[in-house]
Amino acid sequence: MIIRRPSAVLLGLAVALFPLGVAPVAADETAPTEPPKVELVLDVSGSMRAADIEGRTRISVAQQAFNDVVDALPAETQLGIRVLGATYPGDDKAVGCKDTQQIVPVGPVDKEQAKGAIATLRPTGFTPVGLALRAAAADLGTGRTTRRIVLITDGEDTCAPPDPCEVARELAAQGTHLVVDTLGLTRDEKVRRQLLCISAATGGTYTAAQSAAELSGRLRQLVDRAKDTYAQTPALVTGSDQCAKAPLLSPGVYTDRERFSEHRWYRVPVGAGRELRASVSIALDRPVNRDYGVLLRATAADGRELVRGTDAGSGRTDVLSTGLRWSPPSEPDPSPSDTAATVGDTAVCLVVSNSFSARAGAAQSPGLPVELTIDVVAASPAPDGPGLGRGWLLLTVLTVAGLITGVLAGWLTRWWVATWRTN
């Protein structure tokens, strides 16, 4: 979701945008030949003892989040876990800066074994982030599909060289389809800059997690998303400020940046008998105020709203991800302003809006990282309405039951009143 560096663009981690109306922007569509692979890299250095997340230690919050991820792991996803700073308690930096181990190998997960390994972790030593990233990349191996590393830490690397930012650039330059997402457990500005640099170099995301719920929710979201995006490297796209100028997108995964309280437009051709499925996620790479959300809408080219995202009107004030589904009517009403990609297709406009605002002192630019997933599939038939044609028996039974209940209630009431007056 973070916009890639120019070098990453030159290496083909993004696709070029076609001129509007010529052809849809297409994401990299590599046919998956293996299951999605993710490795979680957890900082277990001494600073993780700090009890500043809702009165709990950082390590206990991270352990809970890991357990939640293991319990909810998609069946097809292969997961590994690597730790850093977990075993050497001494002061010899040369030794401590080599302290990284893989405690769960990448593959199908034995949930009880994985949770048992997580439970034994105790904050111990140094923070060799760069070394751990290199090792995690080796754990995941190479292949045609995208692999993901999720780094969780509360501090900057204390062992450079190798500098973790340079390691991330090195991994991106190898062209191995490796994405590193980072999660920070402190508000330290140096830590934020380092984690943002790591994620930006590989096309990943950075998120600051300030509560157990934020960490668990974001971690599960990242692992779950791997099964949807591992076969495709997200393509760079730039949304427009109006539908008519919006880039035309084909099914795939896209990355963009959206400024605070902005609306961004994209277009997707949807043919008759087809169904549009779209979702959007925004990563918080800097502190934001409360009462935030993201809204996804589908509109016709003339501005008529077709459908809103699933979280619209839910009352939640912390929406980071949402999705929608829409199918054109069997007999569409043509509009002169509707621009179709091909004959018989309707160019549906997707609008991503956010209600985020930066906290005091937080940077206003660049915009927040946005990841947009688009698919167009065969339309699902709508379920038949529950007409009364086959429900007369049930209606009759309910009516009779209601009459009997009313008669009994009336009789019992009269008996109770008569008894009370007698006494």
Q: Are residues 76 and 140 in the same domain?
A: yes
- Residue with structure tokens 């019992």? 412
CATH number of the domain that 289 lies in?
2.60.120.380
Shared-domain flag, residues 323 and 194: no
Same domain, 207 and 258: no
Same domain for 291 and 258: yes
Q: Are residues 56 and 203 in the same domain?
A: yes
Give pTM, 2 decimals.
0.56
- At 51 the three-state DSSP class reads coil
Residue 388 falls within a domain, yes or no? no
Residues 225 and 260 in one domain: no
193 with 312, same domain: the answer is no
Q: In what order do the strands lie in the sheet containing 252-258?
A: 235-236, 252-258, 368-378, 274-282, 321-326
- Output the domain CATH number for residue 182: 3.40.50.410
Annotate 353-398 with DSSP letters as a single string.
Answer: EE---BPTT----SPEEEEEEEEEEEPPPPPPP--GGGTHHHHHHH
Residues 280 and 315 in one domain: yes
Return the residue matching tokens 């959007």: 280
H-run or E-run covering 100: strand 100-107
- 54 occurs within a structural domain: yes
Neighbours of 26 (CB within 10 A): 17
In a domain, 403, yes or no: no
Q: Is residue 346 part of a domain?
A: yes
Which residues neighbour 381 within 8 Å (Cβ) at sequence distance 6 or greater? none
246, 341: one domain? yes
First vs last Cα of the chain: how many Å apart?
Answer: 79
**60 and 200 fall within a common domain:** yes
Please report whether residue 414 resides in a domain. Answer: no
Interatomic CA distance for residues 74 and 227, integer angstroms = 8
Q: Cβ(313)–Cβ(255) under 8 Å? A: no
Instruction: Flag whether 31 is in a domain.
Output: no
Strand order in the sheet with 178-184: 100-107, 78-84, 37-43, 147-153, 178-184, 206-208
Short-list 294, 286, 339, CA closest to 312: 294
Is 216 part of a structural domain of the chain? yes
Domain range for 298: 235-378
Same domain, 85 and 215: yes
Under-70 pLDDT residues of the chain: 1-33, 175-176, 228-233, 310-317, 330-345, 380-398, 417, 420-423
Single residue among 165, 200, 229 that ends a domain in this structure: 229
| Residue 296 forms part of a structural domain | yes
**Residues linked to residue 288 through DSSP beta bridges, in sequence order:** 358
Last residue of a domain, one of 229, 259, 283: 229
Last residue of a domain, one of 361, 378, 395: 378
- How many domains, the chain? 2
Shared domain for 54 and 185, answered yes or no, is yes
